[in-house]
Amino acid sequence: MNTFTYSYPTKVYFGERSAAKNLPAELAKVGKNVMLAYGGGSIKKNGVYDELICILKNAGKNVIEFSGIMSNPTYAKVQEGAKIAKENAVDLILAVGGGSVIDCCKVISAQAKISEELWEFETQKHLSPSEFIPMGAVVTAFGTGAEMNNGAVITHEEKKIKGALWGAFYSFAVLDPAYTMSMPMKQVISGAFDSLSHCMETYMGTPRETNLSDEINEACQRNIIRNLRATIKNNDDISARSELVWAAAMAENGMLKIGKVTDFQAHMLEHQLGAYTDCNHGQGLAVIHPVLYCHMLPKAQAQFARLAVNVWGISPVGKSEEQLAEEFINALSDFIKEIGLPTKFVDMGIAADTDFKAIAESTVLTGGCCKKFTKEELFDILSECYD
Ligand code: NZQ
Ligand code: ZN
């Protein structure tokens, strides 16, 4: 096992009515000015906005609203939010939404504290921000687990890069499964697949021999598969939903990564696809994973074979490692079809003239992946994903 330090700064309030029960005490710890940040308005339709405004007013807060955070949040939106946060001397950012709102606010919290551009500060000067506006997250869409890490995926439109910037950890996160019940089924499925992808991306890193983190990871994957199937059968199943909400957080709260260097090559490719097409994250991953895994197969046999048996319940009797590894990829592909995710870019509405060469060229090659890809092979993979 690799050497590690484990400590977690985000306090999680999980369960129904968690906001009403716990926000007043959290709000009492911070100053008067609270920035309520959200997306395109789903929280106004499902009652979450009204409930939070009531809690904030009862706590005597001065609420500064920052809305319109889009899916795949842009660096320009970060700058807009940081300006508002600075001008209003914001004491707490309350991010209410899914991964996009939660990520955007992580970077706002850092950008509002420095005068230079955070993108250059982090990616050119390789410096890390050290001052942040404190933040709390209220999760309304599960999947990314963004509420439990300090990485933010931000699209720089001019540079055509969808990349990670590092912000602060949330001081607290409210995970009320009931808040997620109004998510469209399409988002439920792509969110849960994103969580499954995070588990696989972590599992496929190093070390590659059996270890505790991977055995916990296998349980998470089985849980996501089982509870996504239950949710598709009955969208009102709050018990299955609760499991999915926590599994999403588990996949990204560092626990499965203990002692590991992660893979995340599928994510790097999908993020650049997103930079060029603004596509849905979970859908992009669903198309990329099986194709990428076919290319990884010769180097990944032992890990894929373990996933076949321990996650997908495939019998190992009389089978070679190679056969089992192939059966894992087939099981994953069948599951993607079964849950109605796209299997080709063309099904996602991605245009044929998309610059896949530029996407491949600008994709980060990860150190934890078992195969050292070339940009040419990434281009081949993207072409195979198209149709
Ligand atoms: O904007 P509103 O109107 O709120 O609608 C949103 C949005 O259209 C809607 N929604 C959210 N909660 C809802 C709801 N609709 C009805 N009822 C509710 N309760 O859902 C739509 C998608 O939301 P979004 O936040 O964009 O989705 P997701 O949570 O999948 O986040 C995607 C972003 O997170 C990044 C992705 O790249 C993408 O930019 N990721 C962040 C990660 C991280 N920080 O750890 C890891 C991931 O790998 C991922 O890259
Ligand atoms: Zn993801």
Residue 1 is assigned to a structural domain of this protein: no
Residue 257 is assigned to a structural domain of this protein: yes
Residue 167: per-residue pLDDT? 86
Residue 5: per-residue pLDDT? 85
Q: Could you give the angle at the alpha carbon of 36 between the alpha carbons of 31 and 40, nearest 5°?
A: 175
**Is the CB of 72 within 6 Å of ligand 1?**
yes
Select from 111, 145, 180 the last residue of a domain.
180
Residue 359 is assigned to a structural domain of this protein: yes
Per-residue pLDDT, averaged over 333-362, amounts to 98
pLDDT bin (cut points 50, 70, 90) of residue 345 is very high
Reported residue count of the chain is: 387
Specify whether 318 is located in the same domain as 283: yes
Q: Which protein residue's CA is at the shortest distance from atom 7 of ligand 1?
A: 71
pLDDT bin (cut points 50, 70, 90) of residue 69 is very high
User: How many angstroms is it from 39 CA to the middle of ligand 1?
Assistant: 9
In this predicted structure, the answer to whether residue 215 has a pLDDT above a threshold of 80 is yes
- Please tell me the pTM assigned to this model: 0.98
Probe target for ligand 1 pocket from 43, 187, 252, with the most ligand atoms within 8 Å of CB:
187
Residue 97 forms beta bridges with which residues?
139
Specify whether 43 is located in the same domain as 164: yes
pLDDT bin (cut points 50, 70, 90) of residue 1 is confident
The identity of residue 338, as a single letter, is: E
Residue 149: per-residue pLDDT? 95
CATH of the domain at 242: 1.20.1090.10
For residues 200, 202, 206, 209, the Cα torsion angle rounded to the nearest 10 degrees is: -50
Residue that has been written with the tokens 């988002």 in this structure: 187
Count the domains in the chain. Answer: 2
Q: For 187-197, how does the pLDDT look when each residue is reduced to its tens digit (9 = 90+)?
A: 999 999 999 99
Q: For 222-243, how does the pLDDT look when each residue is reduced to its tens digit (9 = 90+)?
A: 999 999 999 999 999 999 999 9
**Is the CB of 359 within 6 Å of ligand 1?**
no
Q: Which residues does 2 contact at the CB level (< 8 Å), separation at least 6?
A: 207, 259, 260, 261
**Residue 226 and residue 215: Cα distance in Å, rounded?**
17
User: Rounded to 5 degrees, what are φ and ψ at 240?
Assistant: -65, -40
Select from 180, 206, 240 the last residue of a domain.
180
Domain that holds residue 316: 185-386
pLDDT bin (cut points 50, 70, 90) of residue 341 is very high
Residue that has been written with the tokens 């983190």 in this structure: 213
